[in-house]
Amino acid sequence: MPDATQLNGAFVIDTNSVGNITIEGSGAYSRTTIDRSVGCQNLTQKLVTVRQDGEISFHNEAAEEVLFIVSGRGDATLANRRHALLADSGMLIPPGQSCNVVNSGRNELVIVSVTSPQPGQKPASQADAILRADNKVTVHEAEERSTPAGEGRSFKLLIDPRYGCRNLTQFMGSIEKSRAPFHTHTYEEVIYILSGEGIVHVGDQSHDIKPGNCVYLSPGTPHCLENQKDEPLTLLGVFCPAGDPSSHKDQTD
């Protein structure tokens, strides 16, 4: 189990304290940050690091996997097609397909990977989606429109059912200096903090969050995020079942 702080129906994990490092490929390693050990039933989140000139292969026989490039630059090969991986971009790896990623930049390539379902588990309710005819499986945040999610908050959808993803929705969120009202989701969600600092409130408990922190939120958990700084708090979110992050939300405060 990763080094995690337990809240009411949630966990906060500092990736720097996660010791379960797995060597993968040539010059690459991963850390499992969120899985069933913290109560997550449908998602597995990993932080993958590929050193300069290193490479790694991704393959899941029955699960979908979505990647998000935190920093660095890479080149991915999937089904004999090349895809450039830039910071703030997402990528879908469909079940049964193999994807080879090479670090083509001068710095470490840092990736957040989320898969669903977990090994040996059946999928949750799946979206009615098929892979795109143009084989597009990558998207950069600059390609997507920003959608308001309340005062001082917005999100951009990345990989979701529009790209043929049936189990997951991946998005980037931005929170200006504000505090959201308490609310709950019907879905299970994993979060990775990209930049800025803030506070996650879960019921009557609170925990500071900063870049590199991961948050697991179980369905029905009353929570909210707060940013007390002038710098925006930005995050990567992935939830299951797939859908719209502004739907399936109940206001509780």
Give one DSSP letter per residue of 71-122, joined into a string.
ES-EEEEETTEEEEE-TTEEEEE-TT-EEEEEE-SSS-EEEEEEEESPTT--
Tokens standing for 237?
């979110």
Does the pLDDT of residue 251 top 60, yes or no?
no
Do 194 and 236 contact (CB within 8 A), yes or no? Answer: yes
Q: Which domains does the chain have, with CATH numbers?
A: 19-120 (2.60.120.10)
Tokens standing for 20?
């379960």
Does the pLDDT of residue 246 top 70, yes or no?
no
How many Cβ atoms from other residues are within 10 Å of residue 166's Cβ?
22
Does the pLDDT of residue 9 top 70, yes or no?
yes
pTM of the model: 0.95
Tokens standing for 67?
């990647």
Planar angle of CA 68, 74, 75, nearest 5 degrees: 110
149-170, pLDDT tens digit by residue? 988 999 999 999 999 999 999 9
SS3 150: coil
188-209, pLDDT tens digit by residue? 999 999 999 999 999 999 999 9
